[in-house]
Amino acid sequence: MMALHAQAKADENPLLGRDIVQKVLQRKLKYGPKEAVKKSAREVQLEAELAAAKAEAESKTNELEAKLVEQDEKIKARDEEIEKHKVELDMQHERLANQGVKMEQMRKAQEKMQKSMETVLAKLSKK
């Protein structure tokens, strides 16, 4: 029976099967046929548990990777939104700066006009 199981394992995965066959033969020599079968059955159980644990770990890893991708997408969306707002604020700042320059120019022009009017009034009042 154990030989059939070992042969089936060898057919699935030649390296793993060869290891199992070698272990079974070594145990048969050391402990006798019944103990060798018991030990290898435990090994099979442990292998099954290991495979289940690996599958669960892989599942959790995939789940965490999916969450990371989702968070990265959210962060990128936020960064794009922030960049858009930055551009809008820069444009507003530029418009306000331009308005400030225009207002300063208008103020200077108004002062110049007022001085020229005062000069004209002063000349007229002298005459």
- CB 22 within 8 Å of CB 6: no
φ, ψ dihedrals at 107, nearest 5°: -65, -45
Phi first, then psi, for residue 13 (nearest 5°) are -140, 100
pLDDT tens per residue, range 57-96: 999 999 999 999 999 999 999 999 999 999 999 999 999 9
First-last CA distance in the chain: 135
The 10s digit of each residue's pLDDT in 109-119 is: 999 999 999 99
pTM: 0.45
